[in-house]
Structure formats: C-alpha cells, structure tokens
Structure 1
Amino acid sequence: MRGATCRRLLDRRGFPASYSLIFFLTLALGGCMVGPDYRKPQVEVMNQYRFEDETSRDIADSMWWEQFRDPVMNELIRVALDENKDIRIAAARIEEFQGRFGATRSELFPQLGGNARGERLRSSAFSWPIPLPSGLDPYHNSYQISINANWELDIWGRVRRLTEAARAQLFASEAGRRATILTLVSSVASSYINLLILDRQLEIALATAASRAETVKVFELRYEGGVISQLELAQMQSQFETAAAAVPPLEASIGQQENAISVLLGRNPGPIPRGRALAQLQLPRVAAGLPASLLTRRPDISEAEQNIVAANAQIGAARALYFPKISLTGILGVASTQLSNMFIGPAHMAAFGVLTSVPIFTAGGIAGQVKQAEARREQALFNYQRVILVALREVEDALIALRKTREQLDAVNRRVSASRTYLEMAQMRYEEGYISFIEVLDAQRTLFEAETTQAEVQGRVFNFLVNLYKALGGGWVVEAEDMALGEARRMPASQPPGGPMDEDIGTPPSPLSRPISGPSPKPDVEPGTAFPSIPPGTPVKLKKK
C-alpha cells in the first residue's frame, strides 16, 4: 500500500518547484519503502502430541530444575549462569549487534563534520589568463573553518530497510543468548545427574568388591580346613577381582564428569559437591502443552524467525539501489587570507545544494544483489520450517523416551528385587549342600548387574525429563537470562530434603552380596577407600590341601 501511494505521487505532473523540497523531505521522513513488507510464515502443526502424559502438570514455564529438590544442583546452575563463557560470548555478540544497529540507524539523520585548514600558497604566473602585475607577491595565506553537512534523503527506504534488518539481527542475537541459556541449564542438570549415576554405580561396585573380599577370607579359612576345594576358592577370587576391576573405570569417569561440569561453570577442572543421592531426587510430571505454543516458547524458533525478518528487509534495501540517491549538502564557515579577519562579517561563507546520483548501467550488479537477498530469504524461511520440525520431533522423542524408560525402570526394579531373593535362596541352599557354589556366583553376578542397570535407568529417566524441559523451552528462560545478567543473583531457596514429592523412583540401599557364612557385617565403603583385608588386584594365596 505504501509503495502504491508513493508511485501515485511520483506520477503526478506540474508539481510546483517551491514545494519540491517539502515533497522530498516528506518522503524521506516517512514515505516510501520499496521491497516486500514482512509477513509471518504460516506453519501447520498438529493439535496435540502423541505421547503426552494426561496426569502431567504444566511446570515448564517455572524454574524446572528446582523440582528435583537438590540444593546443590540449584547452586551449580546459578554459578553456571553467572560464569559460563558461552553465555558471555553470547552477551558480547548482542553488544556487537547493538553497535551495528546504532551505526545503521545513524544514516537516517544528517551527518555533520568540522574542518579547519591553514595554508601558505605560491601562485603560478601561468595559472592566470592575464599576466600578473609586476611586484605582486605570489605568496599568500589561506585560512578556513567550516561545518559540513550531508543528509541522504531516504526516499526509497533503503536505510530504513537496512535498519529493519539490523534490528532483526539484534533480536536474533538476543534469542540466541536465550538458546545458549537453555542449552547450558540442561547440560548442567544432565551432567550432574550423570555424575550421580556414576556415584551410585561406584558405590555398588565398592560394596560388592568389599563383600566379596570378606567372602574370600572365609573361603581361605575353609580351604585350609579342607572344607572346600581349590576350585571353589579360585572361583570366589575371580568374582572379587571382577568387582574390583569395575572400580577404576568408574572413578576415572567420575573425575572426567566433574571436569566437564567445572568447564560448564566457567572454572578450572576440579571436584564437584553433591547434594541428594540419585534415588532421592524428585521426579515431577510435566505437561507438554500444545504444539503451537512451541512457536513462542523456543528461543531457536524465535531466532530463526528474526533471521527471516532480516533477510526480507535486505531485499528492500537491494531493490532501492535501482532508484536515484538524493542528498542535501551544505557548508557553513569562515575563510580569509588573514587570521585577524576570520570572524568578521565579510569572512563568512555558505553553500547549499542537492546531490543526485542515478544508476545508469551496472552490468547486472544491482539485479545480482536483489537475487542474492531473495535467495537468503528463502534459505531463512526453509531453515525456520526445519527448526520447527526439529523442535516438534525433540518434544515427541523426549515424551516417548520418558514414558518407556519409566516402564523399563519398573521392570528393572522388579528384577533387582527378584535378584536379591535369588541370591538369598542360593546362599541358603549352598550352605545346606543342595547346590554348587557356581550357582551362588551366578546369583551374585546377577544382582550386581541388576543394581548397576537400575542406577543407569534411574538416571536415564531424569535425563529424558531434562531433555523434555529443554525441548519445550518456556518462559523460565527469560528469568534465567535475568540471572545471567546479574539482575537476580540468587535462586529461590529450595525445599529441604524430606519435603513432599510427586514421585520417588528410588529404592532402599541394597544389602548386595553378604559373605556366604559368618556374621560379618556389610562394611561402610566410601568412594576412593581401599577394600578391607584384600586390596583390588592383590592375588589370594592358595594353599594346597
């Protein structure tokens, strides 16, 4: 509409010369802008997700990590928002685009500059059409102080389109920072959960190895007494070494995971404190909402849309190059051959004019720029559609993974319970002489594998929940952005352990493998401590009967 109005004005004839300047100023200040105006792309999304839990609660717009009720996780995320280098890079990028926007927008206004010049000149006798009078001094001084003004009238909207593009790029950079925050919070939460998984697996491995070390001691006494054979003792020693061999890789993985979290926190690699154990974390249920809400919740979708806005505006800026550039120029100042006369009336000078440049032949240069801008808009549009599809897929993937992993966890919990019963019965029947020791070893191995799998699946449930929060985006990103900017230095206090939970997927500590006989209690084993009696890797001395 704006372009049609502009064309009607330009088609009129007999425009009074006295109104020409007013006409051009009117166009420059609020008139025509060539090129297409932005229209939000129409995207079709489904009405609801396929695998959403009907019993869920909509907490995706809140600080969702607080739902885990782990104060250490809350503090780690707060520190990451303050110190993470990726967020600082994103913030510096926003400042870059703020500067670009300001520089582009400044072209809408008159540009003023000052000049001061002082010269001593010698005139050539041959530079004048008539001979110079004899005795005239060819040397003279020249002084000038002036203010120069230049204002390109943005009649066709080229600068306004460039400003529109710069503004959209600024908004895109802000959305990019929110996307960085979204990824960072999810990464810290997932990394911390993975650390708790490793802690639990190490606890199981240490306790199992310690229990088997005690059993090896009992078997040595039985072997010396002639109660059991060397084969049974060697079998027990092999089981102990198997459990002991699982410890070093877990300890290495824990150290590497702590280092990864430290980098996310913007710190040198180092130890990471712990809060709740894996089995004590709360597992809330979250509503995915309507698929259409992703268009406003996900910062990467907002960033992709702003890239379309910027590319669309660049088309108008390129098309404006077909039309004349009209600039108002002027100079105001003083000039004299003597400094003493610089600031008296006759020394004043002024000049005003209109400068027009028209493209006549560019060998397809302008057409190429227009084609380039249109192609970039198409790329941005297709990328926008792709980002939406990926976002929908990520939500669906997280929903189905969360649901099915919960079902898997239920089965694994039943497996652990059955494995404990299996071990207790096998130990009892071995003591009574009904079965061989091989069956006891099989029961111990089954329980060890079941409990290790249980810890892994518990962690996967939490990680898929984190993935769902990340896929949904939400209003919490803006609050987290305020925290990253220092406007909110502390998160709300977390509920202390022992508060109400929506769901607890934990299981009580396992008795693991008790010694086959004797009242030896389960040792208290902490990560990094040595095994009682028999350190890992130390062979048991076998005595012949």
Structure 2
Amino acid sequence: MSLSRVSQLSRRFSCLALAALTACSTIPAYTKPDVSMPAHYANVPGWTVASPEDAASRGQWWTVFHDPDLDHLESRVNVSNQTVKKAVAQLEQARAAVTFQRAGFFPTVTANASQQRYRTSQNLVGKALAGKTIPDYSTGLTASWEPDLFGRVKDATVNAQANADASNADLEAVRLSVASDIATDYFDLRAIDTQKKLLDDTVTAYAAALKLLQQQLADGAIDASAVAQAQTQLESTRTQATDISVQRSQLEHAIATLVGESASTFFIAPVERTFTLPDIPPGVPSQLLERRPDIAAAERRVVAANAQIGEAHAAYFPDLVLSASAGLESSFFAPWLTAPSLFWALGPQLVGTLFDGGRHKATLDQANAQYDGAVADYRQSVLISFQQVEDSLAVLNALQDEAVSQERATSAATLALKLTTNRFQAGAVSYLDVVTAQTIALNNQRAREQIDARRLDASVSLIRALGGTWQTSESPMTGRKG
C-alpha cells in the first residue's frame, strides 16, 4: 500500500471520527423531576424558603460533640469498615463501566501472526492444489470502527457516568450511615457507663445501710423486716447493675464491627462523660436536595434511566462499520517479508434491522417504564427525607421538655428520700417507706440519664436526616448542655 494511499485513508478516518464525536444524541431533554416542597418544617416555625447551599460539605460532623474517643472511632471507618469498602469497590466498578463505554468512540485494532500447513483434498476436481500440502506464513493488522452517528455510544456513556455519580453518592450515604451508627452506639455506651456508676454507687450506699440495719437488729432497735427489705433492695440493685453490663458489652461489640475489628479484641474503657448538645439549624426543606447523598443518588439514577431511553431510540437506526486490514502472507518463509506478499482490504458495512418482532419497541417501552420508576424512587426519597427530619425535630423538642420536667422530678425524689430517711431515723415511719423513696429516687435518676442519652441519639438522627454537617465558614458552632 503506497504512502499516499495510507495518507488518504487516515484523513478519511479522521473526518469520520470528528463526525462521530459530534454525533447527534437520541436522549430526551432531561429535566429534574419536580417535587412538592413545603416552605418550612412543621416543628421549626419561622423558617422561609432560601437558596440552597450547593457547596455545603458533609464533613466530619461528629466533631461537634467534642469527644476525642468518638473522633478516633469515626476516623477508622474509611480504613476498616467492610461496608464502606464494598461501596468503594462498587464505585470503582461503575467508573470502569464509564471507561468501557467511552472506548466505543475509538476504533479497535488487532494484530495477528500465524504459521500453518494445510492440505487440500485430492478428490476435488478442477483445483490446482488438490492433494497438495501447503505451508502458510501470515502477519497483519485489522482495524474496525463504528462511527457513533446516532449517539448510541454517547447515550451509553451518559448512562454509565450517571450510574457512577449515583455510586459515588451511595458511598457517601454509606459513610454517613456507618458514622451515625457509631455515634449512636457510642453515646448509648457512655450513657450506660454513667448509669453503671450510679448503680454501683447506689449498691455501695445500700450495702452500708444494710450493715447499719443489721447492727440495729442485733441491738434490738428494729425488727427483722427492715433488714429483709434492705437486703431485697440491695440485691435488686445489684441485678440491675449486672444487666446493664450486658447491654454495654453488646454495644461495644457492635462498635467493634462498625470499625472493622474483631469483637474479641476490642475494648472501650468505661468513662463518665457529659456531652454538649449542638444547636443544629435544620435550614429549609429545599436544602435537603443538596445535602442528602441518597437523594443525589436517586436523582442521578433518573439521569441514567433517561439516557437508557436514548439508547433504545438509537437502536432503531442502522450501524455503520468501517473496517480495514493489511498484512503479509506467503507460502514460503524466505519471501514472506517482501512487497509481493502484501495484501489489504478496505470497506464499509451498513447494517440495520428491518424486522425484529417488536423487540426494539419493547426495549423502548421498558426504558420508559424504568424512567418512570426512577422518578418515583426520587420523589419517594425526598418524602422520606422530610419525614425523617420532622421525626427527629419532634423528638428533640419533646425530649427538651421532658429533660426539664425530669430534672424537677429527680430533685423532688432526692429531697423526698432525704426527708423520709430522717423520719425513719426519728422512728416516725417504717423502713418500707425508706425503700420506696430509694426506689423512686433511683428510677428518676436513671430516667434523667436515659433522657440525656435519647437527646444525643436524636441529635445524631437529625444530623443524619439532614445529610451530614450543616456548618459553613459563616455559621459558627454553638451548643447547649445535654
């Protein structure tokens, strides 16, 4: 093949490549699905619609609780959590699919080299090589290319890229979910540490009281019923302390799994700690569309489904395949690499479907139905996100009121216990009244600690429902004591 001929072919391929890269697409014009958007959250009156912050970062939202142990646990999620690792692998798979589809814009070139011997049947009439054994040496290149005239490859690439974007959002959703689970389990564990210390201190106090009553019984100052009541109270409280230890172990094991460590080797030292509840501005409902990674993933899948409609439309058009081959072939090795051994072939092929029994139409109908389903999923994700935010806000508001009333109840129960104890020591009441007052006081103290733990959990749930941290450089962080 002469150099001038090769140059002409190269120019033709370049022109066709340019035409293919600028080919028209059969994707329908995409419009983001509309959703009904309330002006403000029902549990936060006074908020009005504002421009969403597209650049708001989810960030390390758990740092608002100012706990170094929690920060350390959260830092291990990306490194060790297996659910996150799987999501990362799925993202890499989706990105590889994009690269695969983009390869369709370029020609495919193959090379071959072979050496074989073959024999033609001797019983063939009119063949000069009948009955002879012939060696064959060949080498060559083959190039084929399908210009993307009707956007099939472009549509498939858009589809793959949208799915990759959705996988990236899925990864962020998994990270947010795992980080939220760690925070919730950690706060529950610290609440148990506080309650365990309360129960242990109570057991110590009850044991001292029992010892005193036993001495009074020996002195004849009281009857045996008071000692029995004190013994019952002591053992019942010990049972509660043992039971709460089991709950702590289970939470510790759950955290171990979340950070990717064996529960057999994982340990968190018991510590009493008071946390500060962050003030979490929920913003406006429209901001959820940018904050929530699951909503972003659902919207990108609508884009992917829209691109599939384009692929289904493109299947109605014919495929143009350009192919070229060239090489050297000879029956003898010596002249194999000389000019007379040259062969080449060049030609286009246009292939279109004339009848397929309705397969193309069924594929298009399927793509349209899948698009409708993706839109429904997107809208459902938005509705669920509103519900989760409203639920978390309602719980936080209710728990705030509960914390105030429970603090009053705890103070009253503590005072009642003190007064009842004084009356018992004065002989005015029986020890049963003391036991009753002790039980009420302990239950109220535990209820107060449980409400504080529930407020922390509700704060984490709200942050999760909002899609991560709400902080920007212009909004300083404030807090309130839990």
TM > 0.5? yes
Secondary structure of the structure 2 residue equivalent to 1:390: helix
2:33 aligned residue (14, 38, 41): 41
Alignment check: 8 A CA contact 1:72 1:275 kept: no
Residue 275 (structure 1) shift: 8.3
* Partner of residue 234, structure 1: 228
1:112 aligned residue (98, 105, 109): 109
Secondary structure of the structure 1 residue equivalent to 2:297: helix
* Partner of residue 189, structure 1: 183
Q: Distance in 1 between matches of 2:377 and 2:215?
A: 72
Q: Distance in 1 between matches of 2:298 and 2:87?
A: 16
* Partner of residue 448, structure 2: 454
CA distance 1:463–1:325, shift in 2 (3 Å): same
**Gaps in structure 1 of 5+ consecutive residues:** 1-18, 478-499, 506-545
Alignment check: 8 A CA contact 1:188 1:264 kept: yes
Q: Distance in 2 between matches of 1:23 and 1:60?
A: 45
Secondary structure of the structure 2 residue equivalent to 1:118: strand
Residue 363 (structure 1) shift: 1.2
Residue 95 (structure 1) shift: 1.1
2:82 aligned residue (74, 80, 85): 85
> What's the % identity of the aligned pairs?
28
Alignment check: 8 A CA contact 2:392 2:461 kept: yes
Q: Distance in 2 between matches of 1:64 and 1:24?
A: 52
Alignment check: 8 A CA contact 1:326 1:354 kept: yes
Q: Distance in 2 between matches of 1:451 and 1:397?
A: 26
Q: Distance in 1 between matches of 2:81 and 2:281?
A: 29
Residue 277 (structure 1) shift: 3.0
Q: Distance in 1 between matches of 2:429 and 2:437?
A: 12
* Partner of residue 52, structure 1: 44
Q: Distance in 2 between matches of 1:273 and 1:285?
A: 28
For 2:23, the aligned partner's letter is: G
* Partner of residue 300, structure 2: 306
* Partner of residue 419, structure 1: 413
Residue 239 (structure 1) shift: 0.9
For structure 1, which segment, 454-463 or 205-214, has the greater mean C-alpha deviation from structure 2 after superposition? Answer: 205-214
2:430 aligned residue (397, 420, 436): 436
Q: Is the counterpart of residue 502 in structure 1 residue 479 in structure 2?
A: yes
CA distance 1:65–1:132, shift in 2 (3 Å): closer
Residue 22 (structure 1) shift: 9.1
Secondary structure of the structure 2 residue equivalent to 1:503: strand
* Partner of residue 521, structure 1: none
* Partner of residue 152, structure 1: 146
Secondary structure of the structure 1 residue equivalent to 2:348: strand
Tell me the TM-score normalized by structure 2: 0.90
Superposition pairs of residues 67-466 of structure 1, within 5 angstroms? 67-128=64-125, 130=126, 132=128, 138-269=132-263, 270-274=265-269, 277-278=272-273, 280-466=274-460
Residue 475 (structure 1) shift: 6.2
Alignment check: 8 A CA contact 1:324 1:356 kept: yes
Q: Distance in 2 between matches of 1:105 and 1:501?
A: 49
CA distance 1:83–1:22, shift in 2 (3 Å): closer
CA distance 1:283–1:209, shift in 2 (3 Å): same
Tell me the TM-score normalized by structure 1: 0.80
Deviations 1:255-274 (A, max 9, x none): 11111111111111144435
Secondary structure of the structure 2 residue equivalent to 1:140: strand
Residue 175 (structure 1) shift: 0.5
For 1:504, the aligned partner's letter is: K
For 2:27, the aligned partner's letter is: G
Residue 319 (structure 1) shift: 1.9
For 1:463, the aligned partner's letter is: D
Q: Distance in 1 between matches of 2:407 and 2:253?
A: 31
Alignment check: 8 A CA contact 2:176 2:468 kept: no
CA distance 1:386–1:63, shift in 2 (3 Å): same
Alignment check: 8 A CA contact 1:52 1:287 kept: no
Secondary structure of the structure 2 residue equivalent to 1:349: strand
